[in-house]
Each structure stands twice: as C-alpha cells, then as structure tokens.
Chains A and B, each alone.
Chain A
Amino acid sequence: MDKSKALEIALVEWTASLKSRDRSRKSVRPNFEELFQKWKDLDGSFDDLYETLLPKAIKAHLPVPSVARSMYKSIKQKAALDKTEKEFIEEWNHSIEAAGTEAFFEFFPATTADHDPEPKTFGAMSATEYRAQRRYADQFPTLDTTELVKQWREQKEYNLDVETVLDDVLGDK
C-alpha cells in the first residue's frame, strides 16, 4: 500500500478509537504518542506528516463544542472560575494542541525543508544537489522527436466537419 495512504488510514483508525478512549488531560499525550508510534512504524517522516496529518490529528482530539460548553458550565457551578466560556474552551484546545505538537517533535524532529548548507552554485542548487539531480535525470532515456515533429508539421487534414458526421451517423434518427 502507498505510504501516504497507510499513514492516513492509521489516523482514521486512531480517530475512531478516540471515542472510547480516556481523553482527560493526563491521557492526551499518551493518546498522541500511540498514533505517532504507529506513524513511525509506517516509516512516516516529518515532511509526510507535519503540514498534512498532524493538524488533522490535533483537530480530532479537540473536544466537541457541546462537550466543552457543558464542561465549562459544570466546573463553573462547582467552583469559582475567572474565565469566560470562550477563554476556557480556547485554553483547553490550546493545551491539547501543545501536547500533541510537543510529542510530535519528539518523534519526528523538525527538518528544515531542503536545507542544504553548501553554497548554491547551480541556480538554487548546491553542487551536491545538482549532481544528484543530474544522476536522476540521466536515468530517463531521451526521446527522438524527429519523426514526431515531422508528422506534426505535416498534419493538414485534422479538422472534422461535425455537421457532416452528425448527418452520417444520426441520419434520420
């Protein structure tokens, strides 16, 4: 199976499992860690996950608004709370996002995209990168376009008289 598909399926499975999991504060990080371990086992990388699947995982762990609101009400009834409902929910969401992101960076250390410390001597490429690109391009055979170009230039009757074709095909249909 394609790696990106496998990573996505792992996320879907994990998201579904969240319904029956303990999602209290102490379990947030272990929940994320379980998913990140799965991703690591599937050979996922920082670039495969950071911009695409991590935000989805965090979003999946956030409390649904109705649950968050009723939690706010229930806490407020029991104790003095100096936060508005909006502040309370935002803080809750941020703490989940922070826990998930922090754990993610431990599993998948950040890499600077395409960071190459060598000086750029070939356009935006270093000599090493350029050589790698040359080796890569050399794998592909060159197409001889002489005959194709000749045919293309000689093409004269390419147009189609639609009305005639319609008459021929449809007739009195």
Chain B
Amino acid sequence: MKFTPEQMLEQLKLAGKGPSAEVDISLAEIESFGDKDSLREMITDIGKYKKMLSERITFINDALSATIPFTRENLYLMCAYTGSGKSTVAANITYPLWQQKKKTLVISNEESKQDILFRIACLHLGMNFNDYKKGQMPNDDLLKVVGLFPEISEYVKVLDVTYQDGITTKVEGIKKALEAVKQEDSYSCVLIDYFQLIKYSIKDSKKTSYENLNDLRVWLGQYVKSSTMPVVLFAQLYSVSKKGGAKDIDTRIKDCSSIVEPATVIVEIVPNFENKTSEFIIHKDRFGMAGKKIVCGFERGRYTMVSDDEVAQRALEGKLAAAANKLSSLEAYGNVKT
C-alpha cells in the first residue's frame, strides 16, 4: 500500500511523530474577541454553568454541597492518609448522584468494579460494606445488594484496574477516558481513585513516575477549564507526624505535590474514630471557605449532617467509651481490684 504525502503525514501524526503544529495567532483573531460569536460563546458557557448550579447536584451531603458548589470546570482534589476514607468518600459522592439519576464515571485503581457498586448499594440499603468484606454478610442481604447492580450500573460506569490490562494506571488511558465522557456530554461527574497510581505511560516506558504524574497534572489543568462536569481526583497523603504536623497540604501530598496547582478545590478528610465523625478540611476553594472544616457524622458508611450540639454529645460519648475501654483493659490485667 502506497501512501500519499498527506496520508503519510496523517500516519506520522497518529504515531505521535508528526511535525509539531505551527503556532499561528493573527491580530485579527485577537481583535475578534468581543465579537458576536465570542460573546455568544461566553454567555452560553455562563448559562451552562448556571444550569449546573440550578440542578443543585449533591456533593456528599447538604452541608458540603452548600459550602462547596459541585460544578463543571472544577477539579476537586480529595486528600487523605491511607485508610482514612478515600473509597468511602468516593461512594458517598457517587450515591446521591445515582439517586438523582446523574451519570458518573468512576475510574478506580484501588477498588474493583463490584466493590464500588457494592458500596453504593450498601449505602442505599443501610448495610455495612465491611460486613461483606469480612464474610459476615448473610446471603439474603448479599442478594439484595447484588439485586441493585443493574439499576446502579445504569448510571454509575466503572473502569477499574482490570480494564484493558491496567490502562487506568497509564496517563494516556486516563486522558482517553476523560475525553470520551466529555464528548458524550451526558455525564455529571468523573471520579479518579487515585492520583499517585497513574504513574505509567504507554508512549514512553522510560518516564519516571513523577514525570507521568506531572504530565497528567498539566493536562488536567487544561481539561478542567473546558470540562462539562466536575472532576474529583483522590490523592494520598503522608501522615501528619511524618511531616511534623505541617498545616500546609502540599508538603504532604505524595509523589507529585504540584497537583495542588490545577485543583480548584482541595479538601482533606480526617476521621475521628472516637466521635464517629469525619472532618472535611477545606485547604483551597473559590468560595472563601479555605482554612475551615466541616464536621460530618459517620453512620453506616454515610457522611451525615450533624449539629454542633450533636458533635459535642458525640465527643462526650467518645470520651466515656474510651475511658470504659481503658478501665476494662486495666481490669483484664488485674491492675484494678473490683
């Protein structure tokens, strides 16, 4: 088969070897800013943004939704230390979206597709996902959970690490998936769990993890500016004590802390096991709430709204429970004579 010069160029371009596109910005193009077409485009985008706000998409619960509007053109970076609730938060973001019949794409390198659907179904049925993981869920309950899979998967689409031999751990795989849902225009949210695991490249296997993460970071910055839906990216943190209790979030983001630059909203999740609450610390946002935290209750896998009084009550109960535990362990060691 013989290629024409044009076809050859096209093939080279597809292989990523084509000549770099010529940069061409004319004065006429610059001057065209403010003409009817560009004004129409800007006003239409404002309309789309307002439309998404008017839909009042729930971001975990009403307290968080009211504080941090969940809208297009935003990259939400959700950070947590290992085991502090990233996957639970992912399920809590997806669950209300499913209930509102909003399509979500979940890209997960952490949990399997069935576990993701399982978590959402458990939230709906008020069941404990960990019972399933520990093998303590009765078969009847399990059947109820699995029975919801068809309904959930109509709106929650999952690409997990088994998809196309781990393409979701590769920068190019993430880009393709995000471009695909952007074209579709029917998706309300994309979740990526989690950033540090996207450390490979298909095109250049010699690139370091850092280089790949940095490439993705730069690309995401461009992507979100014209995204038709919010992008939620989870990131793993170093422990607080390892970084000397630093309040600054970027020193604690593992592997490629520059991800803070394209993120428009950065929230850290800190669980409080004694009070059965979780704190959502806002490190960056566009709405003037940075430096503050929102305390949510944690019940049956869900982050609920709680009042200050309830938090105080839970704190007291937590202290009492901790004291009771201490006492019983002392008794067990025979240090206290009853």
**Residues on A facing B (Cβ under 8 Å):** 4, 47, 51-53, 55-56, 113-114, 116, 120, 122-125, 128-130, 132-137, 139-146, 148-149, 151-153, 155, 158-162, 165-166, 169-170, 173
Known contacts A51-B255, A125-B81, A155-B54, then 5 further A-B pairs from the complex at CB < 8 Å, ordered by chain A residue? A56-B210, A140-B281, A148-B63, A160-B51, A170-B40
Q: Is A123's CB under 8 angstroms from B84's CB?
A: yes
How many B residues are at the interface, by size bracket?
A: 35 or more
How many angstroms between the C-alpha atoms of A149 and B293 in the bound complex?
Answer: 15
Q: Is B293's CB under 8 angstroms from A137's CB?
A: yes
From 197 to 245 in chain B, residues with beta carbon under 8 angstroms from any chain A beta carbon are: 208-210, 238-242, 245
For B292, give its contact among A123, A133, A134, A140 (CB under 8 Å).
A140
For B257, give its contact among A4, A170, A173 (CB under 8 Å).
A4
Does B43 interact with chain A (Cβ within 8 Å)? yes
Q: Is B56's CB under 8 angstroms from A155's CB?
A: yes
How many angstroms between the C-alpha atoms of A169 and B34 in the bound complex?
Answer: 12
Q: Is B40's CB under 8 angstroms from A142's CB?
A: no
Q: Is A114's CB under 8 angstroms from B273's CB?
A: no
Q: Is B210's CB under 8 angstroms from A169's CB?
A: no
How many angstroms between the C-alpha atoms of A159 and B294 in the bound complex?
Answer: 28
Q: Is B293's CB under 8 angstroms from A133's CB?
A: no
For B54, give its contact among A47, A141, A159 (CB under 8 Å).
A159
Q: Which residues of A contact B22 (CB under 8 A)?
A: none
How many angstroms between the C-alpha atoms of A129 and B237 in the bound complex?
Answer: 13
Q: Is B273's CB under 8 angstroms from A130's CB?
A: yes
Q: Which residues of B contact A141 (CB under 8 A)?
A: 291-293
Q: Which residues of B contact A55 (CB under 8 A)?
A: 208, 210
Q: Is B294's CB under 8 angstroms from A143's CB?
A: yes
Q: Which residues of B contact A145 (CB under 8 A)?
A: 63, 66-67, 294, 305
Which A-chain residue is minimally distant from B85 (CB atoms)? A123
Q: Is A158's CB under 8 angstroms from B247's CB?
A: no
A142 with B255: in contact, given A137-B270, A137-B272 (CB under 8 Å)? no
How many angstroms between the C-alpha atoms of A170 and B56 in the bound complex?
Answer: 29
Q: Which residues of A contact B239 (CB under 8 A)?
A: 114, 116, 125, 129, 132-133
16 contacts between A and B (CB under 8 A): A51-B255, A113-B238, A123-B83, A123-B84, A132-B241, A133-B241, A136-B245, A140-B281, A141-B292, A142-B292, A145-B294, A162-B44, A162-B47, A165-B46, A166-B43, A170-B40
A149 with B305: in contact, given A128-B241, A129-B240, A162-B47 (CB under 8 Å)? yes
Q: How far is the CB of B196 from chain A (nearest CB, A)?
A: 10
Residue of A116, A152, A155 with highest tally of chain B CB at under 10 A:
A152
Q: Which residues of A contact B83 (CB under 8 A)?
A: 120, 123-125
